[in-house]
Amino acid sequence: MRVAPVNADYPLFLDLTGRGVVVVGGGPVAERRTTALRHGGAVVTVVSPWLTEGLQERSQAGDIEVRLREFRDSDVDGAWLVHACTGDAAVDDAVVAAADRNHIWSVRAGDAQRSPAWSAATAHTVDGVQFAVNAGRDPRRAQILRDAVTDLAAEGLLPVRRQRRAGRRGHVYLVGGGPGDPDLLTVRARRLLSLADVVVTDRLAPTAVLAGLPDGVEIVDVGKAPGRHALPQEDINDLLVDRARDGLVVVRLKGGDPFVLGRGGEEALACLAAGVPVEVVPGVTSAVSVPAAAGIPVTHRGVSTSFLMLSAHDGSDEVVRRAACTPSDTTLVLLMGVRHLADTAAALIEHGRPADLPAAVVSGGWTPEQTTVTGTLATIAGRAAQAGAASPAVIVIGEVAGLRTDLGDLARASVDAGHGWQP
């Protein structure tokens, strides 16, 4: 049996779909190798007098063939690849020797230094990217390096965006960007931004992250402001569909969560109706996170066990009607309601909410411009107007708003207005 020197490397990826692979051994290592091989489409035969529970379950399900006995040289006949995973040096030697005589590549799991072939440490990311690390027959070192590369990819810090468009299928991702601080983006959101060909964003998204995208990424601002729509929703839907049909990866970056007053449902339905693959990526909703940044929990033991989140941009009628159906200790969380706050507060008092009920308006939550105005239901509108509170803002009405006195600001915004976002 010939064993190549340590530095004799020739990296190669194999398409094992429908091809026979023999795994000799029935322990945990054999189970892991079998799982990976089946994931790669291989037809796996396991040879061992005993099996782990996982291998037994695969056998019973008909997922693998099992020869419940000791290894024989003839077991490698017809195989494209062999894995020796018994942990017994003599048996593994026999397996590798049998494979070598039949001109079949083999992997010796227990001793990479004496193995004709060895497996790289691999990891898969979204959009078909696979990382494989070969560390000179040092599996543990390769795994550590693989994990480090995977972490970088997860943070969106590697240039993994596709460069060839021809023949590929586009995809739309509806990504929640959280309340404003880029640090509150999810790991998946960062990863998808690193893959994006097009980013369709709005004014409430954490736009500081866009400065770090490659020059070739198209950025489309469709931001809406109170009383002004930069682009009608129907046109936004068409934009997402058209770009995806061009074979592009489209990230629709929104503030908060796409399905919390973000019209994400409308955009998802438009994509599905057009036959465009679409996926939603949840974000940290401002309805809860912005009050938290100002030291206001929307529920608190002994104070409030429920909260009602409402859109208040159409005025007080709907707010009052919904609030009337909730217990008196339910916290009211109002989004897009600054413009109508005076009317809303007056209507709530008229319909039974105490005039001295604590209230707060938190503007620009989780950004360096965050400001908080507190008062009572009777005074909050006047104080907010005097302080110049403006959208985007979250209004909290309920006893929990009084907890800010003890908790204070709890936000840590990573957006620096002078220097930009730093990862």
Active site residues: 202, 224
* Cα–Cα distance measured from residue 346 to residue 32, given in angstroms and rounded to the nearest whole number: 65
* Cα–Cα distance measured from residue 139 to residue 37, given in angstroms and rounded to the nearest whole number: 18
Q: What is the DSSP string of 257-315?
A: -TTSSS-HHHHHHHHHHTT--EEEE----HHHHHHHHTT--S-BTTTBS-EEEEE-TT-
Provide the β-strand partners of residue 118.
none
* Cα–Cα distance measured from residue 125 to residue 159, given in angstroms and rounded to the nearest whole number: 13
- Of 10, 29, 19, 2, nearest to 118 by C-alpha is 10
- Of 112, 154, 102, nearest to 129 by C-alpha is 154
Buried b (16+ CB within 10 A) or exposed e, 127-143: bebebebbbebbbeebb
**Contacts of 342 by beta carbon, 8 Å cutoff, 6+ apart:** 381, 382, 385
Q: Kindly report the CA angle at 120 between 114 and 121, in degrees rounded to 5? A: 125
- Of 37, 94, 47, 44, nearest to 68 by C-alpha is 47
* Cα–Cα distance measured from residue 169 to residue 165, given in angstroms and rounded to the nearest whole number: 8
Q: Write out the two tokens for 86.
A: 């018994």
**Contacts of 279 by beta carbon, 8 Å cutoff, 6+ apart:** 171, 172, 173, 174
Provide the β-strand partners of residue 358.
376
In the chain, DSSP finds a helix count (H) and a strand count (E) of 12, 19
- Of 21, 33, 37, 31, nearest to 76 by C-alpha is 21
